Amino acid sequence: MSLSDRLLVRTCRREATDRTPIWFMRQAGRYLPEYRAVRAKASLLEICHDPSLATEVTLQPVRRFAIDAAIIFADILLPFEPLGLGLSFQAGEGPVIAKPIRTEEDVADLPDINAEADLGHILEALRLVRAELSDDIALIGFAGAPFTLASYAIEGGSSRNFVKTKQLMYRYPEVWNELLGRLAAIIGTYLAAQVRAGADVVQLFDSWVGALSPADYRRFVLPHSTRALELAGGAGAPTIHFGTGTTTLLEDMAGAGSDVIGVDWRIPLDEAWRIFPDRAIQGNLDPTLLFAGERAIRTQVAEILRQAGGRPGHIFNLGHGILPETPIANVQAMVDAVHEPPR
Amino acid sequence: MSLSDRLLVRTCRREATDRTPIWFMRQAGRYLPEYRAVRAKASLLEICHDPSLATEVTLQPVRRFAIDAAIIFADILLPFEPLGLGLSFQAGEGPVIAKPIRTEEDVADLPDINAEADLGHILEALRLVRAELSDDIALIGFAGAPFTLASYAIEGGSSRNFVKTKQLMYRYPEVWNELLGRLAAIIGTYLAAQVRAGADVVQLFDSWVGALSPADYRRFVLPHSTRALELAGGAGAPTIHFGTGTTTLLEDMAGAGSDVIGVDWRIPLDEAWRIFPDRAIQGNLDPTLLFAGERAIRTQVAEILRQAGGRPGHIFNLGHGILPETPIANVQAMVDAVHEPPR
């Protein structure tokens, strides 16, 4: 089967298909016992550095569920390693960046990096996964978007209010633009390299961009996300552009040029689709609903499919990643509900 | 001056005024050295329990800035003390609830509380503040909304994904409705008591309700917020209904019946006002913009006033509370910019 015949790819291109493709953000993760078994022996970064372990973990959810894509096991912050920012993950605390970016000098000191040389372990994992993956299953590559990556780099980790990030953005817009320009080039070429290594589709995660007003998004972020997507799209695979809390940004995000826009549960799918009718749409079940009973899950899946209205171009997904404590039976119930919608 | 002549009150009622009233969420707080001096001697809960200290802290920002309202110094979680939930604040960790609410029994075990008897220290502080406050300055009372209070009570503290909260909501809707019904009655009567103690206006903080989809908001929250506002409004003072990340909820929030809707910076003021044209509006400068330079602040104040378009019913405020590290000079610059808009 050629790349362009896979269900997910055809849906990204808004071709008519006989069913709705399905995958989940963070589908390989802690809610799976087979993932926890690997993590008992290897840290997150060790898995990412070992293409055969990364391949194993990437394939786990595809073996378990009838889903239409594997997403390469990686972390959006991996480019921080060759950039020399001192990335680590502390139990219960999330990512820690030992050498955050705060000044013009910090930005100037960033080394040039090259995806083939510096993130080759991820590209190798993509090749291994593609070789093992059933022919009809798509392989998804991904990267963090310039704003979201910059927020981690500047804050030194996760953040609630993004004070340091916005402080740099508002006070030193030239430094900000220099940093986001560098990140956009890195991200865009990294995504293109993932396509060359076998990714059928690539997703740009701007998970935290919903912290911005539309005016700030247009001024400080849109040009850089546009550039990253342009570089990624040059490799020939469809692109997905995702964020949370983005209701007021969707029109501008569509302007960044991806084939697909991913939305969270805060906006009904049909309302979102009215904002960007010329793109495919991905979403949007609230991942916390997977802690409810099977009936509530089936009802909401049906509601999402009703909102999608059978139009070409809907990829079923959650509105954000699967949470670690999610019961597997409920993920299965969601998959079944998408495959067998009520008549 | 009678209550109904104060600028803030007239603006809540969308009467024409000769200028835009201004106050800030968390205007009494850590960014003020005089507040930190009080906190060096007394904890947050100690201040709340001491009406004379609470009065002092409430008046601090009014002495410093030409603002149009004092907001009583308190915390939305104070009702958890008479409810027996074991409220404390741990340095750097935020609130901790020792006995969270998780089951039907936990809800049934909640004692009946009475604002006059059980939160009398706050009512006494309101009376003291009113006696000291300049006659033209409004006094604002407040409470947490049913959803936001329930989220703290169920999670046992702050939360990112509200998993336990939504789990209770989705799995045990009867227990959820019982809990939110109890909270709505407590909140509504507490707000009404605050009005009787001298509050000119009361604000209902549903800070985290933006985590919900519109359908879930309508089903699980709207009836309870409506009830709380109904009870509060019965005391005769205008009501403000505020949340963050609420773009897709605004129409329903307006349905809950407050006089004013407070919005954050994620939605332009004019766009929000199109959704509820028959209400006053409060907002919406991004509090992180107070870390930028004076010019950026002046530009954004002018933009907000332009969006408000001189129509009656705009209360200038931030989109959320002032952050602890905010430079005072920038708060002053914002106040000046609202008072002397560019010609």
| Tens of pLDDT, residues A67-98 | 999 999 999 999 999 999 999 998 877 999 99
| Residue % of chain B over a pLDDT of 70 | 98
pLDDT at B2: 59
pTM equals 0.95
Residue A172: active-site member: no
- Chain B residues with CB under 8 Å of A323 CB are 161, 163
**Chain B interface test: which of A25, A102, A151, A163 (most B C-beta within 10 Å):** A163
State the smallest CA–CA distance between residue A149 and chain B in angstroms.
Answer: 19
B252 a catalytic residue: no
Pairing of strands A239-242, A260-262: parallel
ipTM score of the complex?
Answer: 0.93
Could you say which of A161, A210, A245 has the minimum Cβ distance to residue B288?
A161
User: pLDDT band at B232, cuts 50/70/90?
Assistant: very high
When pLDDT is averaged across residues B275-286 and rounded to a whole number, the result is 98
pLDDT attached to residue B341: 64
pLDDT at residue B147 is higher than 70: yes
Of A152, A182, A227, A264, which is the active-site residue?
Answer: A152
**If you average pLDDT over every residue of chain B, what do you get?**
96
Quick check: B161 and A323 CB within 8 A?
yes
Tokens of B299: 């530009």
Q: What is the pLDDT of residue A90?
A: 87
- Chain A segment 249-278 residues within 8 A of B by beta carbon are 265-268, 271
| A215·B161 Cβ contact <8 A | no
- Round to whole Å and give the CA distance between A179 and A199: 27
In total, the C-beta contacts within 8 angstroms joining chain A to chain B are: 94
Q: Any CB–CB contact under 8 A between A213 and chain B?
A: yes
Per-residue pLDDT band for B157 (boundaries 50, 70, 90) equals very high
| pLDDT at B256 > cutoff 80 | yes
∠ at Cα B256 (B253, B262), nearest 5°? 45
- Across the interface, whether the CB atoms of B266 and A247 are under 8 A apart is answered yes
CATH of region B3-339: 3.20.20.210
Residues with pLDDT less than 70, chain A: 1-4, 341-343
